[in-house]
Structure 1
């Protein structure tokens, strides 16, 4: 089946009680046992499993081409769970342009527990090979990366990881399973902040990990159940509802983002545009190969004149909302450096844009007047 069909079919809940078309929300934290002490419906306690969470996890695994999905209370909770299957003294390779909080989590929370990390430009395969150590157990990459939209060759890095006996994990949040399927390219773990395109309406936090390997799934299940960082039934219901329209939203957002990227790349007050759909992008050919249905709804651009000019543009948009996050139906813009703080490596004149579902012509007019303000 096509992904649009899978998004509907995989989120359908066969309600034996009332034959409801929309899935009920199971708010119960506990479930009744049978006379023999067993659990006839295979539900024990909502930290361990819940009908709404199971529906969400099964749907995500189906869309991704995996066999096991695990839902978490946030994207960072999902990253933390992946790190918790490692041991003290293990080494992780992380992209130099990865989600800022992922690096902070690894160094400030897991560093004192003995985890070490090396940051490297994931587009440089030689640099990645040289970063491996005897104790390297995980390579964590993002493509497109946040916020410079660097494109990494997933298949090549998965092969390199496996040659060194390490797992390859891909944060696929910006591409989603609509555009890119890392498991098919050799990755072991796919990570999502389902807060973003899966939920799609800026109203629910969530995270996910999807895998194919049964032993890896058993390790993640233990971390999920005992760690307890799971989403509530209502949050699972909201994200499941978002999945139904995700293929249509992501494709429309990708088309609009491409339109905006072309406009900005020709605008005299813009220094550089970062969008893999542009032929001038360094990773364009790789993106064409591994992003099958579009180049995503995210872009960033650098304004001529430095931080002050970039902030001026962000402060003068009327349709774009100046806010953190991405993947919702509304378009967002933000100055990343001021969000990330002193440790940020983002260019001081860079604005990150999440393209929503407004008409692209209106978004272009908004950017034009903001750039000329």
Structure 2
């Protein structure tokens, strides 16, 4: 069964008693026991909830993993991931990555003895040079946020296996519909499900999917013990959203490529970052290991002084953090998503004040391009 069919059928047939087509919501904190030493399979919602279980089973199936776990945010998922390691362990991570992940590593877990080295994960030789005897894991965003660098996951998977590392891929930007990291050598996949998986800017959620039962058991223990679990209503919303993931992402990818090509020729834009453009260094890799290029486009204006006027002139695209929803969102990473990175780190990476990140939504592409063109020219519209 193809993945788009599996997505549409998420949760179907999970309530045989009533035959409900839509997965029921079970907003119950606890569940009655039939008798002493007996259980319905559900005891307490922190441990397991019927609605969340339907979601997690669907996510595991579409990713091709042994188990999936749903969290109340992407950061909660990453925090639980970090708890798999011990003080003195060392991780290697993508240098160009979400500022919240950097903040979690540097301002929380470094205090607990977890060390992280950031390197260019598009170059396996750079990853190899960053490894130490105490390196335990490799974490890669693919593509990266916000400069959309693309790593060869198969090559990194081989490297991780050879060195006995846990290979973790944050696949938020591409979703399991476009990219399936577990099939390319990853051990654990991370998603901020708030983004494309949710798709409507109306929920917060995070996901970890483990390829092997061994890692699933460790995550399950932490998931239950720390209590960072997704509530039943958000779980139901996410099941609902998975059903339209394929059609949403396909439309968003087509529009994103049209927008990127438009920006590429605009006189007020000096550079465009989008893996679907012919000159993007990661295009060939994504053609091989994914089925699309995603719906996030980053670009640079001629001057950082233009950014404020550009944002004020937009009428369709909304100036807001986050990405992956039905509505097109515009973000200035240096001032929003990556503001907690030290200025010198942002400068070195290229996350400067002239950089704009665009999450392309479901609007008509001609309307969206017209709105961007008007704003780039400084017209109020």
> TM-score normalised by the shorter chain: which range applies?
over 0.9
TM-score by length of 2: 0.95
Q: Figure out how many residues of one structure are paired with residues of the other and give that number.
A: 370
1:177 Cα offset (Å): 0.5
Q: SS at the partner of 1:336? A: coil
Structure 2 alignment gaps of length 5 or more: none
Measure, in 2, the Cα distance between the counterparts of 1:270 and 1:154: 31
The equivalent position to 1:336 in structure 2, one of 294, 317, 333, is 333
1:300 — aligned with what? 298
Alignment of 1:252-331 (within 5 A): 252-292=251-291, 294-305=292-303, 307-331=304-328
Structure 1 alignment gaps of length 5 or more: none
Measure, in 2, the Cα distance between the counterparts of 1:10 and 1:285: 32
Measure, in 1, the Cα distance between the counterparts of 2:206 and 2:372: 31
Measure, in 2, the Cα distance between the counterparts of 1:193 and 1:311: 28
- 1:371 pairs with 2:376: yes
2:6 — aligned with what? 6
Q: Is the 8 A contact 2:326 2:361 kept in 1?
A: yes
2:362 — aligned with what? 357
- 1:162 pairs with 2:161: yes
Q: Is the 8 A contact 2:122 2:150 kept in 1?
A: yes
1:26 — aligned with what? 26
Q: Is the 8 A contact 2:31 2:43 kept in 1?
A: yes
1:88 Cα offset (Å): 1.0
1:11 Cα offset (Å): 2.2
Measure, in 2, the Cα distance between the counterparts of 1:198 and 1:131: 32
1:14 Cα offset (Å): 2.7
Q: SS at the partner of 2:285? A: helix
1:38 — aligned with what? 38
2:239 — aligned with what? 240
Q: SS at the partner of 1:19? A: coil
1:101 — aligned with what? 100
Alignment of 1:55-70 (within 5 A): 55-70=54-69
Measure, in 2, the Cα distance between the counterparts of 1:163 and 1:37: 45
1:101 Cα offset (Å): 0.7
Measure, in 2, the Cα distance between the counterparts of 1:102 and 1:298: 18
Q: Deviations over 1:138-169 (max 9, x none)?
A: 11101111000000111111111121111110
Measure, in 2, the Cα distance between the counterparts of 1:187 and 1:350: 31
Q: Is the 8 A contact 2:189 2:209 kept in 1?
A: yes
Q: SS at the partner of 2:353? A: coil
1:13 Cα offset (Å): 4.1
TM-score by length of 1: 0.97
Q: Is the 8 A contact 2:10 2:239 kept in 1?
A: no
Q: SS at the partner of 1:23? A: coil
2:353 — aligned with what? 348
